[in-house]
Chain A
Amino acid sequence: MGVDRRNFLKALGLTGVALGTGKQLGAAPAESVEDDEFYGILYDSTWCAGCQGCEIACAEANGLPEVPLEDVPEVGKIRKTDEHRRTVINAYETSQGEFFMKTQCMQCAQPACAAACLTKAMYKTKDGSVIWRENKCMGCRYCMISCPFDMPKFEYHSTNPKIEKCDMCFERVKEGKVPACVEACPAEALTFGNRRELIAEARRRIAEFPGMYHDVIYGEHEAGGTGWLYLSAVPFDELGLNTKLQKKSYPELTKGFLYSVPSVFVLAPALLLGIHSATKDKPAKEDDNE
């Protein structure tokens, strides 16, 4: 029995150590996006005329319903992406006058939706697109809970619903073309390319025309870095963007918990078995089985 006690305490100590290290692993500093070698899109809102060319091209390229003629960006009206449209342009009255802002899935470097997905239906490709794979998705909508930009949209009125969101024209990029919205933009507000080069280009514009730009590239660090990068003349919260998003990637938030799982799995049964054998030898005074 003495040995049992000793083993039990040993197991207890080991559990503590393992849980401690597990926690440390989880708390490891978030690496920023070192690997920029994937595609992204730079959207320069100072050049955007709000013509909706991108919206129309997007709908056409992805087989979505046409954009209604009367549905135009207006100050004070927030249009949102939904299961019928993957991108929208909104108008905002800012401290520097009226500006437009394009909204779509940001193609995070470490997407929350992909970390949330239990079937790997949401998937970050090598090219940089975050795609949704129909044959894998079971429709649990945990990606929608997790996405900090609220971008995955669900077809609630379908019996075999799909998740709709921008995938940076994954198929077109595979064929060597640029995404439909980039091709369609007459103002050249959209630039498709390697993310690292896009950041360099954005910096160059900020440096070259210091009076024209707010000195931040939205998406360089937000949510751990995103494929889409935004430039603007005014602070981004004036354009309806959430500037309080954390700089760490969102999957980091569950890492600590997930790291603790293997150690619990190894150590909890040992601990329980230890306690069981340590208490078993007691004279069974209260035992009902005479």
Chain B
Amino acid sequence: MSDTKVIDQERNGKSTWKFLADELKPKGKPFTWFNIISVPVITAGIVIIVLRFIHGLGYVSNIDQEVPWGLWKGFNVVTGVAFAGGAYVLTFIVYILNVQKFKSIVRVTVLNGFLAYVFYAGALVLDLGRPLKIINPIIGNSFGANSVLFLIAWHFLLYMIAQLIEFSPAIAEWLGAKRARKVLSSMTLAAVIMGITLSTLHQSGLGALFLMAKEKIHPLWYNEFIPILFLVSSVFAGLSMVIFEGSISKKVFADKISEKNKTGHKGIIHTFSQICAFAMFIYFFMHIIVFIHGKNWTYLNSRMGLWYLVEMIGFVLVPMVLFFISYRKVNITLAKVAAIVTMVGIVINRLNVSIIAFRWDAEVPYYPTWMEVVVTFTIIFVEVWVFRWVVNRMPVYNESPAWAKEHKH
């Protein structure tokens, strides 16, 4: 039986163009809570972005000569990339360690990772003073190869390509492109290996960005191990995000997820809580070593010292213990709580290194303007919109079409 016929049936005999045109139309109810909140925010965000390009960065942002990186870099780029770490951890488990149990969530995680990078790279462009020159580090007329940021720029670019290749079989299945799917699937392993290598380097690289700001970051947060700490924390940051996202999707996209995968999801969260607990233990232990090595207790009796304790105890130690308990007691709800606490902790940690403890002693401390906050949320909301659009159309949660299953990837 010819595959074209099967595909034709699935499209109800529509032509490719008609099919694409239909797919572009919105699906689902227009008045959900998410839509009601996100549409005004996105509208305001777009206006602010236009203002930013007409009047310059200073018009909408509070960043100044001493704190040149604000919320857009600290939250959207530095924090967001940590949360996107789930993709490389999961592809490592599924494609490198060949653990099939997690296969059902690989696609959604890779999609999430890919969109995160696209939108956070987009946030970076908004933050660039001279965005038209962004091609300079790419086309090679001026390679600053000894810059950590150069490494990160290239890694973002290459990693987006790798993730697009990893996700591409789903696009091919959506379009019914059988040949393309075969070719693209055969590239998955290469893309995964490339992707993991790139991830380890740029997750740590985001920490290495701040190595030269030795005198500017509070000593409780500055140490020569920032790159390794960033890398280790990206493991549990990414997995916590996967737990969080999975729990929401299970409700929102309930009709798309098969019963088998719904039951399987509990097993997945259970294993993740163990991985998170161990990764957090390593992370916490490294922090203790850094703390003792740097004789950092002298800084504890201050405002920043207290804030450090809040981060370390409230948002690393506590969720670590919660993950351990949830694993031992097989308590999925507790694992979800732990994931949320962990995520808050990651936001606090990344903002501490990049913004709060950066020039903590500045005469005029940096606080984001409301406009910066709105743009930050705009970027996240638009990302969720695109995510929802893709999930509603491509085989991400729902099963691949029958013709695709016949071929082993």
Q: Which residues of A approach B to under 8 Å, CB–CB?
A: 80, 82-83, 112, 115-121, 135-142, 144-146, 148, 150, 153-161, 242, 244-246, 250-251, 253-254, 256-258, 261, 264-265, 268-269, 272-273, 275-276, 279-280, 282, 284, 286-289
Contact = CB atoms under 8 A, between A and B. Distances in A.
B53 interface: yes
A275 B97 contact: yes
A138 B136 contact: yes
A284 B100 contact: yes
A150 B64 CA distance: 11
Given A140-B128, A245-B215, A261-B201, A159 B54 contact: yes
Contact of B96 (A141, A142, A161, A275): A275
Contacts of A121: 142, 144
A136 B205 contact: no
Contacts of A269: 193-194, 197
B227 interface: yes
24 contacts: A80-B65, A117-B144, A118-B137, A118-B153, A119-B136, A121-B142, A137-B130, A138-B131, A138-B136, A139-B131, A141-B68, A141-B69, A146-B213, A150-B65, A159-B54, A159-B55, A161-B56, A161-B57, A244-B215, A253-B211, A256-B224, A257-B205, A276-B95, A280-B98
A112 B210 CA distance: 12
Contacts of A117: 144, 147
A164 to B, nearest CB: 10
Interface string B180-222: 0000000001001110110011001100111111111000000
Interface in B115-133: 124, 127-131, 133
Contact of A145 (B146, B150, B204, B212): B212
B56 A250 contact: no
Interface of B: 53-59, 61, 63-66, 68-69, 92, 95-101, 103-104, 124, 127-131, 133-134, 136-137, 141-144, 146-151, 153, 189, 192-194, 196-197, 200-201, 204-205, 208-216, 224, 227, 405, 408
A276 B196 CA distance: 13
A257 B148 contact: yes
Contacts of A118: 137, 144, 147, 149-150, 153
Contact of B65 (A112, A116, A153): A153
A154 B193 contact: no
Nearest to A242: B215
A142 B63 CA distance: 13
